[in-house]
């Protein structure tokens, strides 16, 4: 951990009691700050409040009182999910109070080798693969943290200058990380996500580009080269560009040609040997390979990881096989693009479980994928009617169920040996579940109840 004094004697407000917020509050106390912690909800577990107060932190719960904007805070550390049009946040913006996220705080104290991953899809898988690959050859600690569910600043506290940290960073986190500078940054792809938060696609792209904003030619930006738009986005970085391409559009970094993965002309391994299924996971592997090779990792280490790693929970996760049906949990597919790539990963008939929060868009884009891959659909949630319309356009049988849990036995009734039963909702979970993780866990529990087996 790097010793810094910029928070010594400063008055800091931490907004949000998530894992990152609680860790940030305790860290700021160690850094000499006078800390107030605020959450609009009242925690069900009073131990959280007692723990904060025991560290000398003033705690305010139950709302975000606008009066806090008048208390002279020097810095606000905001939970990434709190939007900037929140009245209290907006008041701080208006008066010019610096607002950062815990990722920025983690960066400020980090004193090692930083690799950071962002993108619309594939962040967690790419982060995990990268960490595993680098760790295979490392003589020092290699950890991961960030949006993957582990506090950046908490892990950064325990690392030394020779250690490596691979961080998954969301657009929400990056928007409040103005000085972050990873030595290796990865952009897996950029689609049109979270426009309810960022308001415009350009705002969303700008937030993503914070990952490379402070890089120089001595740093590296690993970026997907398979779309012209992403190639143009790369031109906005001062870093050394390292492309990766599944569609053989560049030979300057990691790429696929005739079923073989190459790194700058050198064979690495056949794509068919990657244990993870689907074209999106070939892209995730290419991104991780590029970062690993830039970090000095051997091909043997890369192959060991890619032939054994079976996936991240909720991200096209293989659950089990039962009576010749394969169950997959892809609850993390909270947008259309993610479900597109999930469906492309299967050459068996798919019983698709889909639906969720209605964000106002329709699903015509999925119709060709439904026609090619989907045998039947179970729809649920706020957008079930729109999802049904797309299924009808594709000529796919569609039935309605209450949610992703009740859909499991319905899918089983429609299935035959050789089928895939896939939860890939194409929508956020918040209409029925607090998170995609909970939705995926409940789906797995329903599969276990149906089969009498535990997930594999």
Do 183 and 267 share a domain, yes or no?
yes
To 5 degrees, how large is the angle CA 321–CA 325–CA 339? Answer: 95
The answer to whether residue 263 scores a pLDDT higher than 90 is yes
Quote the pLDDT of residue 313: 86
Q: What is the pLDDT of residues 405-419, one digit of tens each?
A: 999 999 999 999 999
Which pLDDT band, with edges at 50, 70 and 90, does 198 fall under? confident
Q: What is the pLDDT of residues 199-213, one digit of tens each?
A: 899 999 999 999 999
Quote the pLDDT of residue 197: 84
User: What integer is the mean pLDDT of 82-91?
Assistant: 96
The answer to whether residue 43 scores a pLDDT higher than 90 is no
Do 209 and 87 share a domain, yes or no?
no
122 in a labelled binding site: yes
Do 299 and 337 share a domain, yes or no?
no
According to DSSP, residue 183 is labeled S
Which residues fall within 8 angstroms of residue 441, CB to CB, at 6 or more apart? none
Quote the pLDDT of residue 278: 86
DSSP 225-267: -SSHHHHHHHTT--SEEEEEETTS--SSSEEEETTEEEETTEE
Do 225 and 343 share a domain, yes or no?
no
Torsion over CA: 405, 129, 340, 274 (sign): negative
Rounded to whole angstroms, the Cα distance separating 240 from 448 reads 48
> Does residue 3 fall inside a structural domain?
no
Do 241 and 118 share a domain, yes or no?
yes
> Does residue 5 fall inside a structural domain?
no
16 in a labelled binding site: no
Quote the pLDDT of residue 149: 83
Q: How many residues does the chain have?
A: 456
Quote the pLDDT of residue 337: 86
Question: What does the mean pLDDT of the chain come to?
Answer: 95
214 in a labelled binding site: no
Give buried/exposed letters for 159-172 (b at 16+ CB in 10 A, else e).
beeebbbbbbbbbb
Burial (CB < 10 A; 0-12, 13-18, 19+), residue 322, is middle
Q: What is the pLDDT of residues 212-222, one digit of tens each?
A: 999 999 999 99
Quote the pLDDT of residue 143: 97
In 96-176, which ranges are continuous DSSP H helix?
102-109, 123-137, 152-157, 171-175
Q: What is the pLDDT of residues 301-350, one digit of tens each?
A: 999 999 999 888 898 899 999 999 999 999 999 999 889 989 998 989 99
Do 166 and 115 share a domain, yes or no?
yes
H-run or E-run covering 221:
strand 220-224
> Does residue 422 fall inside a structural domain?
yes
Cα–Cα distances in angstroms (integers) from residue 195 to residues 2, 167, 359, in the given order: 36, 23, 10
If DSSP states are collapsed to H, E and C, what string results for 300-350?
A: HHHHHHHHHCCCCCCCCEEEEEECCEEEEECCCCCCHHHHHHHHHCCCCCE
The answer to whether residue 195 scores a pLDDT higher than 80 is no
Q: List the structure tokens of 18.
A: 């998530």
Task: Please give the model's pTM, rounded to 2 decimal places.
Answer: 0.83
The answer to whether residue 193 scores a pLDDT higher than 80 is no
CA 239 to mean position of chain CA atoms = 23
Q: What is the pLDDT of residues 412-448, one digit of tens each?
A: 999 999 999 999 999 999 999 999 999 999 999 999 9
User: What integer is the mean pLDDT of 37-48?
Assistant: 90
Q: What percent of the chain has pLDDT over 70?
A: 100
Rounded to whole angstroms, the Cα distance separating 114 from 161 reads 10
Rounded to whole angstroms, the Cα distance separating 6 from 202 reads 32
Give buried/exposed letters for 125-146 (b at 16+ CB in 10 A, else e).
bbbbbbbbbbbbebeeebbbbb
- Note down the domain range covering 127: 103-308
Quote the pLDDT of residue 312: 84
> Does residue 1 fall inside a structural domain?
no
Do 336 and 214 share a domain, yes or no?
no
CA atoms within a 13 Å half-sphere pointing along the CA-CB vector of 25? 28
Domain count within the chain: 3
> Does residue 6 fall inside a structural domain?
no
Quote the pLDDT of residue 20: 92
Q: Give me the helix-helix angle, 279-294 and 336-344, nearest 10°.
A: 100
Q: Which of the two residues, 278 and 88, has the higher pLDDT score?
A: 88
Which pLDDT band, with edges at 50, 70 and 90, does 194 fall under? confident
Do 79 and 108 share a domain, yes or no?
no
> Of 280, 308, 336, which closes a domain?
308
Quote the pLDDT of residue 454: 93
> Does residue 138 fall inside a structural domain?
yes
The answer to whether residue 251 scores a pLDDT higher than 80 is yes
Quote the pLDDT of residue 40: 94
> Of 308, 336, 370, which closes a domain?
308
Q: Residue with structure tokens 């179970």?
A: 378
121 in a labelled binding site: yes
Do 215 and 273 share a domain, yes or no?
yes
Which pLDDT band, with edges at 50, 70 and 90, does 6 fall under? very high
Do 219 and 124 share a domain, yes or no?
yes
119 in a labelled binding site: yes
> Of 264, 288, 308, which closes a domain?
308
- Judge whether 414 and 374 are in contact, CB under 8 Å: no
Q: What is the pLDDT of residues 170-190, one digit of tens each?
A: 999 999 999 999 999 999 999
Do 38 and 119 share a domain, yes or no?
no
CATH number, domain containing residue 192: 3.40.1190.10
> Does residue 360 fall inside a structural domain?
yes
Do 139 and 285 share a domain, yes or no?
yes
Quote the pLDDT of residue 121: 87
CATH number, domain containing residue 52: 3.40.50.720
């Amino acid at each position: 951990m790097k010793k810094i004094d910029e928070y010594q004697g400063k008055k800091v407000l931490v907004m949000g009691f998530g894992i990152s917020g609680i860790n940030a509050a305790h860290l700021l106390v160690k850094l000499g700050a006078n800390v107030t912690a605020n959450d609009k909800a009242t925690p069900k577990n009073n131990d959280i409040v007692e723990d904060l107060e025991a560290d000398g932190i003033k705690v305010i719960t139950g709302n975000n009182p606008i009066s806090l904007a008048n208390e002279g805070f020097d810095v606000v550390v905001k939970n990434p999910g709190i939007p900037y049009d929140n009245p209290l946040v907006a008041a701080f913006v208006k008066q010019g109070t610096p607002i950062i996220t815990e990722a920025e705080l983690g960066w400020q104290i980090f004193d090692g080798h930083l690799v950071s991953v962002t993108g619309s899809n594939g962040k967690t898988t790419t982060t995990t693969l990268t960490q595993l690959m680098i760790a295979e050859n490392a003589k020092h600690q290699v950890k991961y943290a960030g949006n993957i569910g582990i506090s950046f600043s908490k892990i950064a506290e325990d690392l030394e200058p020779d250690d490596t940290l691979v961080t998954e960073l969301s657009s929400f986190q990056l928007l409040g990380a103005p000085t972050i500078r990873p030595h290796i940054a990865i952009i897996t792809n950029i689609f049109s996500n979270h426009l309810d938060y960022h308001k415009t696609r350009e705002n969303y792209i700008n937030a993503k580009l914070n990952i490379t904003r402070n890089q120089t030619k001595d740093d590296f930006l690993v970026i997907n080269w398979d779309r012209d738009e992403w190639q143009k986005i790369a031109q906005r970085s001062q870093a050394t560009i390292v492309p990766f391409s599944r569609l053989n559009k560049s030979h300057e970094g990691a790429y696929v040609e005739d079923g073989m993965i190459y790194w700058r002309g050198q064979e690495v391994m056949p794509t068919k040997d990657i244990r993870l299924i689907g074209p999106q996971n070939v892209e995730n592997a290419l991104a991780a390979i590029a970062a690993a090779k830039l970090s000095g990792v051997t091909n043997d280490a890369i192959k060991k990881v890619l032939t054994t790693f079976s996936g991240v929970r909720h991200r096209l996760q293989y659950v089990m096989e039962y009576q010749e049906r394969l169950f997959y949990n892809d609850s993390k597919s909270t947008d259309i693009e993610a479900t597109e790539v999930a469906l492309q990963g299967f050459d068996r008939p798919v019983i698709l479980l889909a639906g969720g929060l209605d964000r106002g868009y329709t699903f015509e884009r999925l119709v060709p994928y439904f026609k090619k891959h989907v045998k039947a659909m179970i729809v649920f949630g706020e957008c079930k009617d729109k999802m049904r319309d797309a299924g009808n356009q594709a000529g796919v049988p569609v039935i309605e169920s209450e949610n992703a849990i009740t859909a499991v036995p319905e899918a089983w009734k429609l299935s035959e040996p050789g089928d895939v039963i896939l939860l890939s909702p194409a929508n956020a979970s918040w209409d029925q579940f607090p998170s995609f993780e909970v939705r995926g866990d409940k789906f797995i529990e329903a599969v276990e109840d149906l089969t009498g087996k535990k997930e594999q």
